[in-house]
Structure 1
Amino acid sequence: MSPSNPPREECFRRLYAEHFDAVVGFTLRRTNRPEDAADAAADTFLIAWRRLAHVPDYPDTRPWLYGVARRVLANQRRGDARRSTLGTRLRAELPTAVADIAPNAVLDVDVEAALDRMGHRDREVLQLHLWEGLEAREIAEVLGSTSALIRPRLSRARARLRDLLGNDPPPAGHLPNEPRTLSRKEGA
């Protein structure tokens, strides 16, 4: 490579060093949350990296980056609006789609507290079994394991849970082959 044609990485490093503060300032002034501004600035420079051959030379570089950042922010706002609309719709439909969890709320807290005292591996197989209603074969598929390894692991984890709950069985809605109702954490 000739000295007049620096490598791609060097060009990008220079572009980033010269314009990062300006692009971050641009995005900060147009968002309510610093993390949104940081995401927009990162996406702007990702696009600049991908389209480095199209980035204009000085003095048009910064306006080009601002244009990219402006479009990134617009996409971000559209995505936020879609998520908000979906969230509103789901909150409106949730009460009719999910059974009332009030009768099991106290028992759910006990089960969740017992699960929190268990190791990660036990908690994982129990959540898949009790919450998702999966059997050992299905749990093995989710975890990328075999049924022969999961069956004894699930059996031991269920025994530990029974011990932690004082030998009380898991509450209704947490038994195998019964649909799981949302816990208070998930329903919020």
Structure 2
Amino acid sequence: MSSEDRFRRAYAGNFEALLAYASRRVEQPEDAADVVAETFLVAWRRSADLPPDDEIRLWLYGVARRVLSNHHRGGTRRERLGERLRQRLTAVSSPDPGSEVPQRLAVRAALRRLSATDREILLLNVWEGLQPAEVAKVVGVSPAAVRTRLSRARARLRELVGDDRDAPGHVLDVLAAPVPKEG
């Protein structure tokens, strides 16, 4: 199979997961599309060097993670460009009403208070559904470190959001997500 065919298969099989991954880590949907486009640009340029099929998804998450790091470092420039784009797009689209939900805002605020690595490990596990061993490959640490950090991040998030189920910020699908078993 040619490297172009492998790239096409990798793109088709991973585009939606990477878009969801990026969407959860940026403020604007346009930024998520840019992150995914750049991730696949790197994959296209390195299509001859793509890892085996069973490792490609984790490799793409690793590339997306580095693209996101670069994205966040260029914040000032992007903010100016984003402001211009938002002014042009306001006539075309309306803001997401879900972004005003107090529970989501409370959870996002609590997530921001976690360390960057703990937040990333927690989000890869809960939102992306990766096993601790898979998270370890993406982040570049040992599976034992991932399990420890995951436990600590969950406890800290519960502490920040609170255990009162009626209070704003308590979102069952974030706090009570089942712990995936490694297989």
TM-score, normalisation: structure 2: 0.40
Whose radius of gyration is greater, 1 or 2?
1
TM-score, normalisation: structure 1: 0.39
